[in-house]
A and B are shown apart, each in its own frame.
Chain A
Amino acid sequence: NAGVTQTPKFQVLKTGQSMTLQCAQDMNHNSMYWYRQDPGMGLRLIYYSASEGTTDKGEVPNGYNVSRLNKREFSLRLESAAPSQTSVYFCASSEEIAGEKRSYEQYFGPGTRLTVT
């Protein structure tokens, strides 16, 4: 089991360029998430997907789009990168089950360090 994988690990973009961050999980989880972590801060939720075919905005969705391609894959797209989007991006997945009154830990990918100049 690879768990949660993210590509690329590092990326440098110029302002205005676009790119897509890829995320895949092999744990058959329903829920997937994209976070950003700025230096010295906690994680802020960008978008999440509770199941294949659904996506919802988190705390900081502006400037991003997502696609839940299938149950395994959840991609994050920056259409026109800005210096304010310089951050470490984490993808995560968890086994949330509708109707069950407990939650499950999130499994995180290793992160993508993105710099926008």
Chain B
Amino acid sequence: AQKITQTQPGMFVQEKEAVTLDCTYDTSDQSYGLFWYKQPSSGEMIFLIYQGSYDEQNATEGRYSLNFQKARKSANLVISASQLGDSAMYFCAMRETLYSSASKIIFGSGTRLSIRP
């Protein structure tokens, strides 16, 4: 069954340090996509980064990179040089069966990241 696990309910990090948010997933499908979203205290959901199961390179978007380890079924988000504005909830999500437009997306329970000045 499709499942996303985020084992860190909360993290504190010093400003300017790098931080890794963990995400493991469970799927029997060969074709899937992984996402990270940020939810600030204002409540909106902001897309950060995407990794497809067929992508050989790890995805990067500015200060965000995704450490994709397919054999271990992990898709950790790395934020380099953290900033105060990075304080938020972060959600990992997965969509299976990419060739079908009818497949759904599930989300993990989230990690609350707090950046200390």
Contact = CB atoms under 8 A, between A and B. Distances in A.
B108 A99 contact: no
A44 B44 contact: no
B104 A45 contact: yes
Q: Quick one: which of B6, B35, B99, B105 has the most chain A CB within 10 A?
A: B105
Query: Which bracket fits the contact residues of B?
Result: 20 to 34
A30 B102 CA distance: 10
Interface of B: 6, 31, 33, 35, 43-45, 47, 50, 52, 54, 91, 95, 98-102, 104-110
A56 interface: yes
Interface residues of A, number: 34
B105 A45 contact: yes
B98 A101 contact: yes
Contact of A58 (B6, B50, B52, B104): B104
Contact of B99 (A35, A90, A101): A101
A99 B104 CA distance: 15
Contacts of B6: 42
A104 B107 CA distance: 15
